[in-house]
Amino acid sequence: MNKTIASSNAPAAIGPYCQAKLCGNILVTSGQLGLVPGAGLAEGIEGQSHQALKNLGAVLKEAGMDYADVVKTTCFLADIKDFAAFNAVYAEYFKGEVPARSCVQVGALPMGGLVEVECIAVK
C-alpha cells in the first residue's frame, strides 16, 4: 500500500503532486528546490543547495528515514558550471556509503531555482 508523505518542515508541493510516496520500505520523493518554507528561494547556488538538501532531509525524516537510507539521487542544475559548488554542499549531507547519483543541467527549474534534488530511499 502507498502512503503519502508530507512534512511541514519542507515546502508544500507547488503543483498537483506530493512530497513523497512510501511504498512498503521504499520512499520515492519529488524534487526538492532550495525553497525556505514560507520565505522563498535561498540565496545563490550554495544556499539553495543546502536548503534543497535540508528539505529532502525533512521529507526523509517524516518517513522515518535519513540520508543514510538514500540509494539514488537525481540532481538538476540550472547551470552545470555550478557542479563543483553543488558537490561541495552535497558532500556535507552524504558521507561514507554515498548513494548512486545522476546530476544534469536542465533548461530551467520551477520558480527560477538553481538546483533541485530528488531521491529513492530504502529502509
119 part of the active site = no
What pLDDT is attached to residue 66?
97
Structural domain containing residue 79: 2-122
CA-based angle 20:82:71, to the nearest 5? 35
**Candidate list 18, 23, 103, 119, residue with the active-site label:** 103
What pLDDT is attached to residue 14?
86
CATH code where residue 6 lies: 3.30.1330.40
Tally of domains within the chain: 1
Using the predicted structure, report yes or no on whether residue 1 has a pLDDT greater than 90.
no
Residue range 2-12: average pLDDT?
A: 96
Considering the chain, what is the average pLDDT of its residues?
97
Per the listing, cell 536548503 goes with 51
What pLDDT is attached to residue 76?
98
pLDDT, tens digit, 9 for 90 and up, residues 88-106: 999 999 999 999 999 999 9
- 22 Cβ partners below 8 Å, 6+ apart? 2, 3, 4, 5, 63
In angstroms, rounded to a whole number, what is the distance separating the alpha carbons of residues 72 and 27?
A: 11
Among residues 114, 121, 120, the alpha carbon closest in space to that of 51 is found at: 114
Using the predicted structure, report yes or no on whether residue 68 has a pLDDT greater than 90.
yes
What pLDDT is attached to residue 25?
97
Using the predicted structure, report yes or no on whether residue 118 has a pLDDT greater than 90.
yes
pLDDT, tens digit, 9 for 90 and up, residues 22-54: 999 999 999 999 999 989 999 999 999 999 999
Q: 67 pLDDT band (50/70/90 cuts)? A: very high
